[in-house]
Amino acid sequence: MTVVRSTLPDEARRVSCEALQDTLVDLLGLSLIGKQAHWNVVGPRFRSIHLQLDEVVSAARAQADTVAERAAALGVPPDGRPETIAGAFSLPAPEEGWLRDSEAVRVLTEALGAAISRLRERIDATEKADLVTQDLLISITAELEKQRWMFEAENFPGES
């Protein structure tokens, strides 16, 4: 029995929801490693990075919610359980333990960069399938590219 009927044809729904499920995993993973870095960062830039990381976490959590609810709205149940995230998450992430501030900046720049590459592929993939889903992915990309720039700007070496 169909629980939630889709407003899209089958193939369009399949393509869109695959893109949404993959994005969901990236965003939930990003929110978890963002918090991990938020708690473990040490170094002279502790306070700045500690606060900036929490903005990434807030953004990623809100986006994950929108993405998951859009999958549901298209008739496909989203999957954000711990084992699903752990199994599918593939972005660069911090090691266990204390994390030097410069390393936190470096890891986040890379994680955000990788997430953006994957989102840009999904923007292409959903163009035909569903412009509404594509528009959502575009707005997530805009936000993550802004976050990435701020970490990369922070990453620029100081005056020696």
In sequence order, what are the beta bridge partners of 99?
41
Q: Kindly state whether residue 92 participates in binding a second copy, applying the rule CB under 8 A.
A: no
The answer to whether residue 10 forms part of the interface with a second copy (CB under 8 A) is: no
Contact flag: residue 110 with a second copy (CB under 8 A): no
Cα-Cα-Cα-Cα dihedral sign, residues 38, 41, 42, 45: negative
Reduced 3-state DSSP string for 22-68: HHHHHHHHHHHHHHHHHHHEECCCHHHHHHHHHHHHHHHHHHHHHHH
Least Å from the CB of residue 102 to a second copy: 5
What x/- string results for residues 59 through 88 when contact with a second copy is judged by CB under 8 A?
-----xx--xxxxxxx--xxxxxxxxxxx-
The distance of closest approach from Cβ of residue 131 to a second copy in the complex, given in angstroms and rounded to an integer, is 6
Q: Which of 4, 11, 121, 128 binds a second copy (CB under 8 A)?
A: 4
